[in-house]
A and B are shown apart, each in its own frame.
Chain A
Amino acid sequence: MIEIENITKRYDKQTVVNDVSMVVEPRTIAAIVGTSGSGKTTLLRMINRLVEPTSGTIKLDGVDNHSLPDYELRRSIGYAIQGHGLFPHRTVAQNIATVPLLLGWDRERIDERVDELLKLFQLDPADFGPRYPHELSGGQQQRVGVARALAAKPNVLLMDEPFGALDPIIRTKAQEDLLAIQKHFGTTIILVTHDMEEAVHLGHKIAVMDGGKLVQYARPAEILAKPASSFVETLVGSSERPFRLLSLGRVGDAVEKGSAEGEAIPADASQRDALAELLWTGKPALPVKDTDGKALGRVTVDGLVKLAARPA
């Protein structure tokens, strides 16, 4: 759990983060969204004390983050940044081993952990471990960057625009990987992004920042349905709203009784993808199957359109 209490950061007379309070529940993802200069990155960097706050406190699992020397605190918190920041003079395996090495783990345990993480990120340890970062593709570098951040099994992972430098296809894949890994380790993640789409997709809760202030902190559905200000509304994008709302729901929750012709849609696909499939195939309804391939019913355009309407 991360408790941010009345945090303020001023540089000279300029207030970058203004009296922000929020709580991130354990094992959830909080996405901080805002335009550049909104203070979102500064807020993130105050959690691992790369920036020292002017006033206010931040508690991690109930412990003030000033109760440790800053470097020890940072070793206990994962940190992944845009453009990965891998050490170019160290191999992939050495990069991932950075924090465990600082913590003084023994060789065997480090090697085991590096192998485990590389496999988890679908990189063959024997092939990729000895390579240097410049020998990897952008997507692979980004995965190694996240693997390095997770190496010492931190409870908290901070991510600053981690997917910013990736092309759209690799980006989607990286987001899926992150969700899977978050589930696997149960890590609490705070992710800074300027992309509302990404925030809605990844965040259990979304914090919208503007001019150093926390404008709204709520679940994605609520942000979409009841934006707290016109700024939030603009950020959500009114033409995208219904589709973003649908992207939050699973097809399994929109199943109706009956049957339909055509290729079945898996129940764990998003409702948005289902609607897209319906519109594209020109059919009013398609069958739905669960992961075992068992038919569950059907999903209809009319049903989805109702779900896309503004919640009361």
Chain B
Amino acid sequence: MKVFLPAALRIVLLVLLVAFIVYPGWFEPLFKPLTENNAPAIYNQGSLLSLTLQHLGTVAVATIAAIVVAISLAILVTRPFGAEFLPLSRSLVNIGQTFPPVAVLALAVPAVGFGEKPTLIALFLYGLLPIFENALTGLTTLPANVVEAARGAGMTNRQKLLRVELPLSLPVILAGIRLSVVISLATATIGSTVAAKTLGEVIIAGLISNNLAFVVQGGLIVAGLAVFIYDGLMALERVAARRMGQTVS
């Protein structure tokens, strides 16, 4: 029962979410009370499915770029030759985080124009910090005798990194990616203010036409996606950690 209930709940919610994205018309009666003056209850200026896919695509591209850059940076500054760059890279990544995404959008638009690009830049900068910080924590808190054993066994620095250090830091790095993805999912909605195709369009359309039903729809889909992706990555983390006899709270 203990295992069954959460699993069943997840399946029901997932089915509801997918059904809503693919056949939003089925849910019209639910949203009708939120509209006024006979306004449409279901978003009618585009397909929710394609907006959802574009939203996820944008987040995926930005997150993968952030993962590659943040982990490379973390590896670099934890090697003996890169240790000098640790403070510099820390502050660079922190600056990325202190910039409000709206400000990044505003600055990026004149440089790269409207559309997908400024959103990708904002999401990328925003996603860096959690991944970098966690990768750094993971790589600097490895059990000393395990790393010593790797060296003693005759691994080259590269083998030590790939076969011992990275796999051992994997649960912590995954936690950073999870945070980053969830933040990006939410932040991507404001990309629609600069004409990126994301679920933000639905929310903004609702705000402009004073249609609460649109706002709720957009918000619900983004929230649902965030919950499921969070959940999935958490499960992945648990698997990675359990193999090593650790537990993830």
Contacts and interface: CB of A to CB of B under 8 A. Distances in A.
B188 to A, nearest CB: 34
A102 B153 contact: yes
A50 B148 contact: yes
Contacts of A85: 143, 145-146, 148-149, 152
A298 interface: no
B150 interface: yes
- Mostly, the B contact residues are helix
10 contacts: A74-B151, A74-B153, A81-B145, A81-B152, A85-B143, A88-B244, A89-B170, A89-B243, A102-B153, A148-B153
B244 A132 contact: yes
B149 A88 contact: no
B152 to A, nearest CB: 4
B152 A50 contact: yes
A42 to B, nearest CB: 13
Interface in A65-121: 71-76, 79, 81-89, 98-99, 102
A135 interface: yes
Nearest to A74: B154
B156 interface: yes
Contacts of A98: 153
Contacts of A132: 243-245
A127 B153 CA distance: 25
Given A88-B244, A89-B243, A81 B151 contact: no
B168 interface: yes
A141 to B, nearest CB: 11
Interface string B208-249: 000000000000000000000000000000000001110000
Given A79-B152, A89-B167, 13 more contacts: A71-B156, A74-B153, A79-B149, A81-B145, A81-B148, A85-B146, A85-B149, A87-B164, A89-B244, A98-B153, A99-B154, A102-B154, A135-B245
B47 interface: no
Contact of A79 (B153, B156, B167): B153
A89 B155 contact: no
B140 interface: no
Interface of B: 143, 145-146, 148-156, 159, 164, 167-168, 170, 243-245
A10 interface: no
B245 A88 contact: yes
A76 B153 CA distance: 9
Interface of A: 48, 50, 71-76, 79, 81-89, 98-99, 102, 132-135, 145, 148
Contacts of B243: 88-89, 132
Contacts of B146: 85-88
A186 B154 CA distance: 22
A166 B155 CA distance: 27
Nearest to A79: B152
A146 to B, nearest CB: 12
Contacts of B156: 71
Contacts of B167: 89
B60 to A, nearest CB: 27
A86 to B, nearest CB: 7
A71 B159 CA distance: 11
Nearest to A72: B154
Nearest to B160: A71
B157 to A, nearest CB: 9
A139 to B, nearest CB: 17
A133 B155 CA distance: 20
Contacts of B155: 71, 102
A73 to B, nearest CB: 7
* Shortest 5 CB-CB contacts between residues of A and residues of B: A134-B245, A85-B149, A75-B154, A79-B152, A74-B154
Most chain A beta-carbon neighbours within 10 Å: one of B151, B154, B156, B168: B154
Most chain B beta-carbon neighbours within 10 Å: one of A50, A71, A75, A132: A71
Nearest to A88: B244
A73 B152 CA distance: 10
